[in-house]
């Protein structure tokens, strides 16, 4: 069936020229033009809307995104009382999910399990920090966990756990909570997350499944929940089990395969010590999760199995480990072979010019989260507090990455930052460092063609050209004419995935 979208400004990425109508035949663009309109089985009048290729979010955790959407989201909340009140209200319903996310340290007063128990009584409750590397648990949840051999258990003056957990211990709490959710609840949460994506003009996500946290079964639940949906879910499974991933039919592996932790939790792996003192008992340079030999064996095996590999690397020491290990693989199989797969580095935050040049030589692609800079960058931000502005200003240099020839794509790492391309474009255009800001059109391209290219390499799709897959978003404004601060007010009038309308739901259609 052919559909003519008329009466619109169609932004013909990559050229940035505009056209007045778009003809879709089946799942692909058939023609784009201005003036004389072709015949079509169906005509949709867009009433002057601005049309772009739909967005691709290159780093997402859909189940968590859904949990946050159906649970409590404490983004920006600093008040202990407000958080505890919310838990108390929720707990009045015995079947409600006692999950809260996105809290930011420090709160006005810290929360320990004692206060959380006061709000939820004897029920397991989980409060997760914005970076997901720390959490607070109620006593009922703490009692379910075996934390004896795990790092990251905060202890009070009397030696008993305060309920504040970091890294391994926080992951154990998440895993228990996650695995004990009824399947139905997980499915509902995932579907909520998918609707959220559509409502923001996103038709494809790269899903980062962390096996260490969520287990293998959770992947099946996710696959089941999203099957039959128009959303393209590109799977990145964080495991070294190359055979298993191949047998699942995937040609990519890793993603959030952790080489280190995060800045918020003092666990990003740095070459030089943190400036702000890490919590008692933890290393002054963060945490390294993998030894060089093990990582080399994994990279080499995946490369030989023809898989694209992604790894999570935030600190400069972690990024150095990823790059030097790929260089080693290059010496074994040849750099062109490594380049051909276009392996990814997720986050890629603390990278020197030398890192970027070596990464380009290896054809490594940069999966960045622009809003990390928006929320935690700048001279007064969290990163500067953690290691001083001189070092923090070397982070998240999107402009330099593109200038030096890296393939760069944008993602939200939702729930770490919102699954919202308009927030990400705001961050790309308004980087704390003027030199690193992306131009208006480049910011759009990075979230459409760039994000897509992280998984598939540069190609036609993700553009608005005849022959490309008809992933379309219709907006109430011209993004290139919109000031940075107004971007997040953009209204998504409609989203189509491969020619099928997914937002607003078909039932809401009026034409």
Binding residues (CB under 5 A) for Zn ion: these are: 256, 312, 346
Minimum Å distance from CB 265 to Zn ion? Answer: 12
Inter-helix orientation angle 183-199/62-70, to 10°: 90
Residue 361's H or E segment, with its range, is helix 353-362
Kindly tell me which of 318 and 487 has the beta carbon lying closer to Zn ion.
Answer: 318
Minimum Å distance from CB 349 to Zn ion? Answer: 10
Under DSSP, the state recorded for 247 is H
Minimum Å distance from CB 347 to Zn ion? Answer: 6
Minimum Å distance from CB 10 to Zn ion? Answer: 35
Kindly tell me which of 5 and 263 has the beta carbon lying closer to Zn ion.
Answer: 263
Kindly tell me which of 346 and 373 has the beta carbon lying closer to Zn ion.
Answer: 346
Minimum Å distance from CB 317 to Zn ion? Answer: 16
| In the complex, residue closest to Zn ion by CB | 312
Minimum Å distance from CB 255 to Zn ion? Answer: 8
324 Ramachandran zone, left/alpha/beta (phi>0; psi -120 to 50): alpha
CA distance 113 to 345: 36
Q: Where are the beta strands (DSSP E) in 300-419?
A: 308-313, 344-347, 365-368, 408-410
Kindly tell me which of 207 and 346 has the beta carbon lying closer to Zn ion.
Answer: 346
Query: Among residues 463, 381, 369, which one has the least CA distance to residue 420?
Result: 369
Kindly tell me which of 266 and 312 has the beta carbon lying closer to Zn ion.
Answer: 312
Count the Cβ atoms, other than its own, within 10 Å of residue 234. Answer: 19
Residue 165's H or E segment, with its range, is strand 161-166
| Phi/psi of residue 388, nearest 5 degrees | 85, 150
Kindly tell me which of 83 and 268 has the beta carbon lying closer to Zn ion.
Answer: 268
Query: Among residues 214, 208, 211, which one has the least CA distance to residue 240?
Result: 211
Strand partners, 51: 10, 474
Query: Among residues 284, 289, 438, 286, which one has the least CA distance to residue 373?
Result: 438
Kindly tell me which of 22 and 208 has the beta carbon lying closer to Zn ion.
Answer: 208
Minimum Å distance from CB 376 to Zn ion? Answer: 14
CA distance 111 to 107: 8
Asked if residues 166 and 150 have their Cβ atoms less than 8 Å apart, the reply is: no
Kindly tell me which of 129 and 312 has the beta carbon lying closer to Zn ion.
Answer: 312
Query: Among residues 280, 441, 286, which one has the least CA distance to residue 349?
Result: 286
| Whole-Å CA distances, 353 to 317, 344, 346 | 14, 17, 17
Under DSSP, the state recorded for 38 is P
Residue 197 makes CB contacts below 8 A (sequence gap 6+) with 57, 60, 203, 205, 231, 419
Minimum Å distance from CB 316 to Zn ion? Answer: 16
Asked if residues 295 and 277 have their Cβ atoms less than 8 Å apart, the reply is: no
Asked if residues 205 and 243 have their Cβ atoms less than 8 Å apart, the reply is: no
Minimum Å distance from CB 256 to Zn ion? Answer: 4
Kindly tell me which of 116 and 208 has the beta carbon lying closer to Zn ion.
Answer: 208
| Phi/psi of residue 263, nearest 5 degrees | -70, -40
Kindly tell me which of 226 and 267 has the beta carbon lying closer to Zn ion.
Answer: 267
Minimum Å distance from CB 272 to Zn ion? Answer: 22
Kindly tell me which of 83 and 259 has the beta carbon lying closer to Zn ion.
Answer: 259
Minimum Å distance from CB 311 to Zn ion? Answer: 9
Kindly tell me which of 131 and 394 has the beta carbon lying closer to Zn ion.
Answer: 131
Query: Helix, strand, or coil here: 445?
Result: helix
Minimum Å distance from CB 497 to Zn ion? Answer: 26
Asked if residues 207 and 191 have their Cβ atoms less than 8 Å apart, the reply is: no
């Amino acid at each position: 069936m052919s559909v003519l979208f008329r009466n619109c400004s169609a932004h013909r990425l990559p050229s940035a020229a505009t056209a007045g109508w778009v003809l879709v035949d089946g799942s692909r663009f058939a023609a784009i033009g201005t003036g004389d309109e072709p015949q079509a089985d169906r005509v949709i009048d867009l009433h002057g809307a601005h049309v772009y290729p739909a967005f691709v979010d290159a780093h997402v955790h859909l189940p968590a995104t859904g949990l946050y959407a159906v649970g409590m989201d404490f983004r920006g909340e600093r008040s202990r009382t407000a958080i505890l009140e919310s838990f108390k209200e929720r707990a009045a319903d015995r079947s409600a999910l006692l999950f809260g996310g996105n809290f930011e340290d420090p709160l006005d007063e810290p929360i320990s399990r004692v206060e959380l128990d006061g709000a939820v009584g004897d029920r397991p409750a989980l409060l997760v920090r914005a970076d997901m590397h720390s959490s607070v648990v109620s006593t009922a949840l703490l009692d379910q966990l075996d934390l004896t051999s795990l790092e990251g258990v905060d202890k009070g003056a009397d030696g008993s756990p305060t309920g504040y957990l970091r890294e391994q211990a926080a992951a154990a709490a998440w895993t228990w909570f996650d695995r004990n959710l009824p399947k139905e609840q997980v499915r509902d949460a995932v579907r909520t997350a998918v609707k959220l994506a559509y409502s923001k003009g996103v038709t494809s996500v790269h899903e980062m499944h962390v096996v260490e946290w969520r287990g293998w079964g959770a992947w099946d639940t996710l696959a089941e929940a999203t099957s039959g949906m128009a959303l393209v879910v590109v799977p990145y499974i964080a495991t070294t089990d190359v055979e298993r991933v191949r047998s699942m039919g995937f040609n990519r592996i890793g993603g959030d395969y952790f080489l280190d932790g995060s800045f918020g939790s003092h666990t990003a792996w740095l070459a030089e010590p943190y400036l702000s003192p890490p919590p008692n008992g933890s290393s002054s340079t963060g945490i390294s999760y993998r030894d060089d030999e093990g990582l080399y064996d994994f990279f080499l095996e995946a490369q030989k199995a023809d898989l694209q590999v992604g790894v999570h690397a935030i600190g400069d020491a972690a990024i150095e480990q990823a790059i030097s290990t790929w260089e080693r693989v290059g010496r074994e199989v040849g750099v062109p072979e490594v380049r051909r797969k276009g392996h990814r580095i997720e986050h890629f935050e603390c990278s020197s010019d030398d890192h970027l040049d070596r990464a380009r030589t290896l054809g490594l692609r940069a999966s960045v989260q622009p809003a990390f800079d928006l929320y935690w960058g700048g001279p007064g931000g969290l990163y500067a507090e953690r290691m001083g502005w001189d070092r923090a200003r070397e982070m998240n240099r999107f402009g330099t990455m593109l200038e030096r020839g890296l393939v760069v794509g944008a993602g939200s790492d939702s729930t770490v930052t919102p699954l919202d391309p308009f927030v990400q474009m705001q961050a790309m255009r308004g980087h704390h460092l003027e030199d690193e800001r992306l131009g208006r059109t480049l910011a759009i391209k990075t979230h459409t063609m760039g994000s897509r290219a992280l998984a598939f390499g540069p190609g036609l799709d993700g553009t608005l050209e005849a022959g490309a897959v008809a992933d379309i978003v219709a907006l109430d404004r011209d993004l290139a004419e919109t000031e940075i601060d107004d971007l997040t007010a953009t209204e998504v009038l409609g989203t189509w995935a491969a020619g099928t309308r997914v937002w607003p739901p078909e039932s809401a259609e009026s034409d």
